[in-house]
Structure 1
């Protein structure tokens, strides 16, 4: 079981590097490039580059999620541990929402943007961008929570998890129905991710 647990953790981290690496590529590199690229270069990238990147992105997300479920089972986590290990549970919540955003919002709308499906490209692009920015927002505190599982176990009241989860779910609702706001810029999304990490850490530490 020790070897199996370690292998599951290794694969989980490996697939997570692929997923989050592609997420950062899209948000910090490709979006800025597409905003400045010549029409011919952008068109070529949308036909040849973006579909390949999205393949690694969505399947990296799926593999990370599946190996995360395996770790959840092998590690013996239960809902009763929310109060004892709230950070890891908040990390799992954000990771799950990020996975769902990839497959239910980002990928379907990117298919429209890339001309693989019929639809309003501008509206689809806006929806995909908001969900992708939200995933980037979640990525910092999600990783903080995952690392806390083994390296920063903090005891807290059950309310700490529920309040933190409420904050996360409000941000997810914005990802589905809201607007970019401060997430519009790269600097804004980075600062927001760091701020959310501090907020959740503070809730768990002091509530």
Structure 2
């Protein structure tokens, strides 16, 4: 890849670190603090800390998505199953940020009027699913550059394994939009679920 391509790859990683770092902060740190904070501390955090963190979160997502689209153009014919699934996970995560999490967080934080408890629940559900997607998405980013060693692909094809993965992803995203948290309710649960989804993906691509 030429220098320009390398710079986009570098930028993609930097934006991704910002985005996923903030995602983990919200789910693993801030959520727990909000439950334990004093009324004064909670009010101050909602007024000052959370909006600032959400700015870095959503624009980190935007930068990751844009640079990812550019890199996808550089890859062209080199697409394989892991790249395609990784792109799908990343795109859904980006859309969840801008169409579900951010609009509902504005309501939950009192930045705009609305049903704050309901909006907070919708934002949390989508955020938990983004954590769920994060481990398999990162696995896809790394695996896509190693088309050997039993990873279960050589090039992109609409095989049975790809169809199975698309069905799984569609079902998960439907739950992110309209379902319930289930095992994603706790931090431990969402971490285990994310690692489990990664394992399922690898098994599907190798044995279906």
- Residue 88 of structure 1, CA deviation: 1.6
Report what 2:100 is aligned to. Answer: 105
Q: Which runs of 4+ in 1 moved over 4 A?
A: none
Measured in 1, the distance between the counterparts of 2:111 and 2:146 equals 44
Q: Distance in 2 between matches of 1:77 and 1:10?
A: 21
User: Which residue number corresponds to residue 27 of structure 2?
Assistant: 27
Unpaired runs of 5+ residues, structure 2, are none
Cα displacement string for residues 51-79 of structure 1 (whole angstroms, at most 9, x for unaligned residues) = 0000000000000000000000011147x
Matches within 5 A, 1:14-53: 14-53=14-53
User: What CA RMSD, in Å, does the superposition of the two structures yield over aligned residues?
Assistant: 1.3
Structure 1 position 191 matched with structure 2 position 197: no
Q: Given the alignment of the two structures, is residue 138 of structure 1 paired with residue 133 of structure 2, yes or no? A: yes
Distance 1:67 1:77, change over 3 A: farther
Shift of residue 149 of structure 1? 1.4
Say if 1:87 and 1:201, in contact at 8 Å, map to a contact too.
no
TM-score by length of 1: 0.94
Checking the alignment, whether the CA contact within 8 Å between 2:46 and 2:109 is kept in structure 1 is yes
TM superposition shift of 1:151: 2.8
TM-score (norm 2): 0.94
8 Å contact 2:132–2:194 — kept in the other structure? yes
> Is 1:86 aligned to 2:81, yes or no?
yes
2:40 and 2:8 map into 1 onto residues whose CA distance is 43
